[in-house]
Chain A
Amino acid sequence: MIYWLLFMEFLIIGAFAVGGGLATLPYLINLANKYPWFTQATLMDMVAISESTPGPIGINMATYAGYVAAGIPGGVIASISVMLVGMIFMIVIGRSLERFKESTVLVKVFYGLRPTIAALIGFAAYTMLQTVVADATLELVPLLSSVGLFTLTLVLIYKTKLSPISIIGLAAILSFILPL
């Protein structure tokens, strides 16, 4: 039964993929070779779409793969099962965090962890900026609009109380008149 197979396969993917959505890709390639559900070419489209649509990339890819394999129920089953193991594990961790909140070891661990997490988010900013630069058209008007939009975002976030969501919405609207 395809639903059961999908559930088991995506449960295993979720249990072994460490490091975010794209870490599931090697496992999905393996699925493409193992089952007639989708081809590797479809997978590449999936990655492109998963990266540009909203939502966590790993869930996007699971929904897409599950849908292509077995329609709407397939998409739902794949998405839920890919997050299941992590979710249960996080609930266990959440409970121990609460119990050991005052533990000195935990305080020390987070003392070491936070600068590195800041660096990882900094790296994300760096990667994102690289993508934006790679996206950029080297003509005067698009270049000016891109720099303008970037500056406008910083001004709005520092000088107004507009939420990131509103600024993203604003950019979506502006994109109709701004050639980028």
Chain B
Amino acid sequence: MKVYLELFIAFFKVGLFTFGGGYAMIPIAKRELIDNKNWLSEAELMDYYGIAQVSMGIIAINTNTLIGYHIAHKKGAVLAAIATALPSIIIITIIAAVLEGIFDVPLVINMFKAIRIVVSALIVQTTIKLTKIGVVDIFGAVLFGSSFLFIVLLGVNPIFLVIPSALLGIIFYPKKGGKQT
């Protein structure tokens, strides 16, 4: 029972402190689920995030459902998904019901500016960390560079990067002696 409670609290925190899309979740998830709980590895987090990217539905929920499954199977998956969504449901309901004008208050605007600055710095740090883990050879470096350019310059939908990379992985996987994680 204790693991379910721990799981619920951890994912609730992740949902509560994710400001922005699914990607804003990564620094929080890394600290709360990997550094603090050791429930999965950074490489696994990237794998799950990748699968969530190309699946239907909400990326953050999908990622956390996979992590929840990894920790405690079906119950873990359902619990993780609900715990991630719950803060949103509560906060948005309150805003829609009584605090409609809250985002016109200068103090609140200033606070969200501050949070966005912090989150952007956190994501920069997470990118550096995950790049070190995800890019292990020349193949990875080329793929990283070209994916980044494709999405920044051409605004390609991530699906059209993720699926070809998976295929390239199958083709270019080193025969032996490669240093994979």
Q: Which residues of A contact B (CB under 8 A)?
A: 14-22, 48-60, 63-64, 67-68, 72, 75-76, 79-80, 82-83, 85-87, 89-91, 93-95, 97-98, 105, 107-126, 128-129, 131-132, 135, 146, 149-150, 153-154, 157-158, 163-165, 167-168, 171-172, 174-176, 178-180
Contacts and interface: CB of A to CB of B under 8 A. Distances in A.
Interface in B74-109: 74, 77-78, 81, 84-85, 87-89, 91-93, 95-97, 103, 107
Interface of A is mostly: helix
A49 B95 contact: yes
Interface string B49-64: 1111111111111100
Interface of B: 13, 15-28, 31-32, 36, 43, 46-47, 49-62, 65-66, 69-70, 73-74, 77-78, 81, 84-85, 87-89, 91-93, 95-97, 103, 107, 110-127, 130-131, 133-135, 139-141, 143-145, 147-148, 151-152, 157-159, 161-162, 165-170, 172-173, 180
A169 to B, nearest CB: 9
Contacts of A149: 114, 117-118
Contacts, number: 362
B115 A172 contact: yes
